[in-house]
Structure 1
Amino acid sequence: MAVKQRIVVVGAGSIGMRHGRLLTGRDSLSVEFCDPDPVALNRAFKEIGTLPGHNSFEKMLDSKPDMVLVASPHELHTDQTIRALKAGAHVLCEKPMADRLETARQVMETANSTDRVLDYGFSNHFHPGILETKDIIERGQLGEILYAHFHVGTYGTLVNSRSRYQADTEAALLMDYVHQPDLLYWMLGKNPVGVYATGGFGGNMELKSNPNSMTMLLDYGGPLTASIHLNYIQYPDRYHFEILGDNGWIYYDLINNLLFLGDRNKEKLSRKEIVFERDVLYEEEHQAFFDAIAGKRPPESSAEDAMQSMIVLEAAIQSWKMRKRVECGPF
């Protein structure tokens, strides 16, 4: 009988429990949880089933797990990822890479000095509608890309947050939705040269985070420009993006899973419904991580890849605080 590989999910919040629930469906794995809060561990076991648990990250690493999945609060990502890599574990870390660009560089240095796999959880890379959008762009169907826009309005994120960490974490909105800068880089193949961000904090709502609304304008040193709007205000949630080229455009409604494709030359508009289960995104993310460990493919989102969104995140936070455009330098 084959020995099961041990994977420890660090952080028993909502995203950690989703990972844990899906990983327990793999017969080749022994899934464990690590969280210093016994209430969080008990809640996870009540929902998923009783699993081996750890309340000490240090002692968990001393037990030499094969893999560690970091789903803890943002400010712990750097330290836990570095220590897990140094302990000999392969690491899949939830986004963002870190809460600061400086500490993200430390992670990359550690990853480059080990033979362990480090992958980041940008699960939207496995979203069928986003994959189709990327394919359309790469085939040149839209022509030269001139503008891109992302909109995420999700008070629902605060409602569904178990720890409510967003209330006490400055710029949690940007860190929670660093997906958007990542997707722009992943789909367009380039990062902006500068960012101007403006944000606000207010409203008569029970749950808040500072800022609870932010808009970023991204310039690329050429005709391409982009914008990202994020808010913890809209409820029910809204999530959509559009990509404009000189031959056509895409508008994708990610709440209703509808993709619209406009063809300028044919003067034609097509509409397609994208049907999928959200759990599949995480299952495919897990499989890509395991395949990278097995040497079948590179990590889907390496440390170098994740650094691209960290550059934009850092610039946006600085711009918001200083109220001026901030250049995006190399990492």
Structure 2
Amino acid sequence: MNKQKIRILQVGAGSMGSRRIRDLLLRPDITLSVLDKRKDRLKKSVESFGIQSFESFEEAIDWKPDVLSISTPPDQHDDYIHFALENGLHHFCEAQLWTYDFLKIKSESQRKGMLSATSCSMHFLPIIKQLKLFVNDKLGDLHAYQMYLSTYMPSWHPDEGVEYYARHRNTAAGREMVPFELLYLNEIFGIAEEVVGSIGRRSQLGNDSEMEDTWCLQMNLAGGSFGQLVVLQASPSTVRKGVCSGTNGRIEFDIYNGKLTAEFDDGYKEFIDYGSQKDVIELAYKDEINTFVDAVLGKAKWPLSYYDSALATATLAAIEKSATRGKWEKVDPRIQPEYLLCQIDN
């Protein structure tokens, strides 16, 4: 970068956007401003952080940013990503439900010397880093893994109204969490080549009468092993734990509680407590956005690509097809989830 300070435009000032602002403002090598169409969020950002704000994208672009940090709902990512690609801006984007054309991302980023980064927050959690080390160095050949996530949709920002994206079928909390979980599970255990499973509605939660709340995936992984993932959004419980087994032993990991237990056939046993997720996740967010800025400056390498994101979101597309057709479906990163029709209850 030729400028003394990088000019970063934070797009979106909701929950994640506010976290990005908080962490970016700790850096002395950037200048930050924020864009949000909601006046209440802009007002809160100005009051909390004292940064320049914009209500329109045109005004924000006249500020001439070098970087976009995109923290909008997942169905609003594409226009900002497209703008960044067309105008040679580095960008960071929150977790995807539909991954932008990864081939175009790669070609345009290489041609224009841009960093195009999609969020991978879980990669930065200490328990995930250690789990990956154990799987790579101690577990031997993977036989299978199981992962269970229960996230209660009503607890997602209860102060938000019916407009909140996670309360709608197309961008439902549980639907979003399928590729969110797969992004780090794929990194640790390998990608799914084909998938079969079921999706259903087991509750009456939400203002969308068509919204599913239960996803169950059985996956054949590259390399011949197997994976299972269950994601719930309607059970009033908080669980994020799994187990994996290989030729040399097994590992249990409880991510919400930060506990990892490993036992291997050479007699090695270890129990590690990394602290509960709620106590360490903010540090992971800080590490993530700082790694992105350092990568823009050429001081770090971004760990995952848009291709990795496309594989995770394509697995969601495949399970949704499988649930309808009742058969195994191939995972193709070029095939992304459909936009679902919603029936909003009055």
* TM-score bracket, shorter-length normalisation: 0.7 to 0.9
- 2:148 aligns to what? 151
**Paired residue secondary structure (2:270):** strand
Task: Report if the CA contact (8 A) 2:75-2:171 is conserved.
Answer: no
Provide the rounded CA distance (Å) in 1 between the counterparts of 2:251 and 2:207. 33
8 A contact 1:5–1:66 mirrored in 2: yes
Q: Does 1:191 align with 2:191?
A: yes
Spell out, residue by residue over 1:258-291, the C-alpha distance to the aligned partner (whole angstroms, 9 max, x if none): 111122343x653221136222111211222122
Q: Distance between the aligned counterparts of 2:59 and 2:129, measured in 1?
A: 40
Question: Corresponding residue for 1:212?
Answer: 213
Following superposition, the deviation at residue 91 of structure 1 comes to: 0.5
Tell me which residue corresponds to 1:138. Answer: 136
1:305 aligns with 2:308: yes
**Whole-Å separation in 1 of the counterparts to 2:231 and 2:53:** 36
- Structure 1 counterpart SS, 2:170: coil
Aligned-partner Cα distance in 1 for 2:240–2:322: 24
SS of structure 2 residue aligned to 1:199: strand
Q: Partner amino acid for 2:271? A: R
1:1-331 matches, cutoff 5 A: 3-46=4-47, 48-96=48-96, 99=98, 103=101, 105-139=103-137, 141-155=138-152, 158-160=155-157, 162=160, 164-170=164-170, 172=172, 173-188=174-189, 190-205=190-205, 210-220=211-221, 223-266=224-267, 269-275=269-275, 277-329=280-332, 331=334
1:68 positional shift: 0.9
Q: 1:322 to 1:42 in 2, by over 3 A?
A: farther
Offset of residue 62 of structure 1: 3.5
Q: Please tell me the root mean square deviation across aligned C-alpha atoms, in Å.
A: 2.5
Take 2:33 and 2:178, find their aligned partners in 1: how far apart are those partners? Answer: 27
CA distance in 1, matches of 2:323, 2:64: 42
- How far 1:327 moved relative to its partner? 0.7
Which amino acid in structure 2 is aligned with residue 93 of structure 1?
Answer: C
Distance 1:198 1:313 in 2: 11
Following superposition, the deviation at residue 75 of structure 1 comes to: 1.3
Whole-angstrom CA distance in 2 between matches of 1:118 and 1:213: 32
Q: Which residue identity is paired with 1:49?
A: F
Distance 2:296 2:220 in 1: 37
Alignment check: 8 A CA contact 1:156 1:236 kept: no
Compared CA separation, residues 11 and 125, structure 1 to 2 (3 A): same
How does the TM-score come out when normalised to structure 2? 0.84
Deviations 1:141-175 (A, max 9, x none): 11110111221111157532645212224253232
Structure 1 residue 183: deviation in Å?
1.4
Per-residue CA shift, 1:21-78, capped at 9, x if unaligned? Answer: 12122222222211111122223334x3332111222432343202111110111212
For the residue of structure 1 that corresponds to 2:191, the secondary structure is coil
- Given that residues 311 and 331 in structure 2 are in contact (C-alpha distance below 8 angstroms), is that contact kept between their aligned partners in structure 1? no
How many residues align structurally?
Answer: 324
Inter-partner Cα distance in structure 2 for 1:157 and 1:177: 18
Letter in 2 for 1:86: E
Residues 33 and 65 (structure 1 numbering): CA distance in 2 closer, same or farther, change over 3 Å? same
Evaluate the alpha carbon distance shift between residue 169 and residue 111 of structure 1 in structure 2; reply closer, same or farther with a 3 A threshold.
Answer: farther
Give % identity.
21
Deviations 1:222-249 (A, max 9, x none): 6411011111123341111222112111
**Residues 247 and 264, structure 1, Cα contact 8 Å, conserved in 2:** yes
Q: Secondary structure at the match of 1:160?
A: coil
Question: Tell me, what secondary structure is at the counterpart of 2:317?
Answer: helix
Q: Name the CA distance, whole Å, in 1 between partners of 2:177 and 2:321.
A: 17
Segments of structure 2 that go 5 or more residues without pairing to the other structure are: 335-346
Give the superposition deviation at 1:206.
Answer: 5.6
